[in-house]
Amino acid sequence: MREIPVTLLLLCFSFSPYCQGNTTPNSIEGAKLYHQYCMSCHQADGGGVPQMTPPLVSTNYVTGDKKRLITILLNGLNEPIVINDEVYYNPMASFGYLTDRQIAAVLTYIRKSFGNQSTSVSTQEVSKIRKQLANKN
Ligand code: HEC
């Protein structure tokens, strides 16, 4: 019975695009979270859906300023944004119910997947920004 999880993990690495990339335990957690919470809208390859959901590939929102990125997850986003000359109007709900660790894992995952090559996001960075946002209210 103990082999089953290992086999599943190996299968996952062999076949699924969202399991490839870097392979620290944290990134496996990030891939799972992406699958569970983000993929339905942003798609397995991070390509989004034209006129519905913006892509996570090569966008400055994903690879740029961490504070802005963390704030998008904690607060959600509800403003028209332009990515690659395409305007997106649909709002995205907050993921503030995820733990700081989960947010760090999923953001690290998207910053290092789909061809993105950016730096990691730590649990501490998410905690700090969550506190800053709470103090504003
Ligand atoms: C219900 C569909 C939906 C889900 C689920 C969803 N998003 Fe979004 N996301 C959107 C939409 C729509 C926007 C654009 C919001 C706007 O323009 O105000 C967006 C915008 C973004 C942006 C900024 C724009 C960009 O494309 O770079 C990031 C980053 C992002 N989402 C990450 C995530 C992550 C990470 C998850 C999972 C934890 C997630 N989203 C889950 C629909 C979704």
Three-state SS string over the chain comes to: CCHHHHHHHHHHHHHCHHHCCCCCHHHHHHHHHHHHHHHHHHCCCCCCECCCECCCCCCHHHHCCHHHHHHHHHHCECCCEEECCEEECCCECCCCCCCHHHHHHHHHHHHCCCCCCCCCCCHHHHHHHHHHHHHHC
Q: How far is the CA of 73 from the centre of ligand 1 (A)?
A: 8
Residue 78 has pLDDT above 60, yes or no: yes
Give the mean model confidence (pLDDT) for residues 9-33. 64
Mean pLDDT score of the chain: 88
> Which of 18, 41, 106, 107 has most ligand 1 atoms within 8 Å of its beta carbon, as the pocket-test mutant?
41
* Cβ of 95 below 6 Å from ligand 1: yes
In contact, 26 and 105? CB cutoff 8 Å: yes
pTM of the model: 0.85
**What is the reported pLDDT for 22?**
46
Instruction: Identify the band that residue 35 occupies on the pLDDT scale cut at 50, 70 and 90.
Output: very high
Q: Does domain 3-136 have CATH number 3.40.225.10?
A: no
pLDDT grade for 136, boundaries at 50, 70 and 90:
confident
Residue 20 has pLDDT above 50, yes or no: no
